[in-house]
Amino acid sequence: MEEVLREYQELNGSHIEFIPNAPTALEFSRIVHISRPVHFAGASTLKWSDTYLVEMMGSTPINVAITPDGFLADALVEGPDGQIYFVEPRTESMTMDSLLHSLHSPTGESGTTAICYLQSQNGNLYTPHRARSEFNSLRGDVPKDVPWATEAFGYSPDAVNLWIGNRQSTTSIHCDPYENIYAVVRGAKHFILFPPTEGYLLQERNYPRAVYTRPHPGAPLELTPIEVDENSNEASMVSWASADPTKPIRGTMPLRVTIRAGETSTCLLVCWWHHVTQSGDGPGGCGIVIAINWWYDMEMRGDKWVWLNALRRVSQRGDWNAPHLSGTDTVV
């Protein structure tokens, strides 16, 4: 693996390409083949004010992910018992008006109130074979696909997702088996990226699962371990990267990318590891962050998946699989 790591870094460096406009289908096809981040300015012109969003969505209930102080959903969190858990957020239903109100208010930072992040990741704008979505009334503004990407792949996206949050939300380091086109509408997203060849340095370990619950309406959120029935198909443990990418990680050469309102990026090509923070569109990074992403299935023919899967196996079979270690003991 060290030869693979070194050769990849020597061939690719830490270069990120910036292109003034959207690519042609052929240019994008080359980008997918190379699988390195490319950044397109001026590819999106969508404007969504709070007033417009509230007017369009009205009283439609939307599913929002909620966690206590410092949004850490799908992340490693130390429970009251001292155990590190892989914890999922609580999902609550609210209107767009109450979501935006919550995101604008400085609550949550005190540790007393819940932090919201609309991040349902289930094709909340579009998925094939589902005619309606929570965000039906916004669909007129969002293209069902990215024409140059659809032409390059030869098929439409598997899911189109809307993300609305503020600077209190962080997405912990992980990777997805999708090609991902990411466009920012308001605010900015800050990515720390690692290529698939560096995944084995991110110290994947197995963690027991937990979820945030609310014992009764209005009560504070509680971290609750998930008991998995032995006969169930559900996994009782989750393999998750324990390294902290905001600090140096031995052997890695991370890329740092910020996508701002109006920009589109392919920084999340298949199986690239990413850690995401965000800044709102208000002064000092307060305010709202809105992004839209199009997930395209990766090409399964050929050897790309075989290679990525082999890299994941190396990563998951490392001798760092010690479930009880702290999630932040980054080796420097």
Contacts to a copy of itself by CB under 8 A: 3-4, 7-8, 11-12, 25-26, 29-30, 32-36, 151-152, 154, 195-197, 299-307, 309-310, 313
Instruction: Name the minimum Å distance from CB 96 to a copy of itself.
Output: 40
Instruction: Name the minimum Å distance from CB 8 to a copy of itself.
Output: 5
Instruction: Name the minimum Å distance from CB 242 to a copy of itself.
Output: 24
Nearer to a copy of itself, 27 or 109 (CB): 27
Phi, psi angles (nearest 5°) of residue 101: -60, -45
SS3 state of residue 88: strand
Nearer to a copy of itself, 104 or 304 (CB): 304
Nearer to a copy of itself, 13 or 215 (CB): 13
**Stretch (H or E) spanning 76:** strand 75-78
Instruction: Name the minimum Å distance from CB 271 to a copy of itself.
Output: 10
Instruction: Name the minimum Å distance from CB 182 to a copy of itself.
Output: 19
Nearer to a copy of itself, 187 or 196 (CB): 196
Instruction: Name the minimum Å distance from CB 1 to a copy of itself.
Output: 9
Report d(CA 56, CA 47) in Å as an integer. 13
DSSP 221: P
Beta strands in 215-304 (DSSP E): 222-225, 237-241, 255-260, 264-268, 273-279, 289-297
Of 187, 163, 191, residue with least CA distance to 284: 187
Report d(CA 103, CA 74) in Å as an integer. 20
Nearer to a copy of itself, 29 or 137 (CB): 29
For residues 87-121, b (16+ Cβ closer than 10 Å) or e, as one string?
bbbbebebbbebbbebbeeeebeeeebbbbbbbbe
Nearer to a copy of itself, 306 or 332 (CB): 306
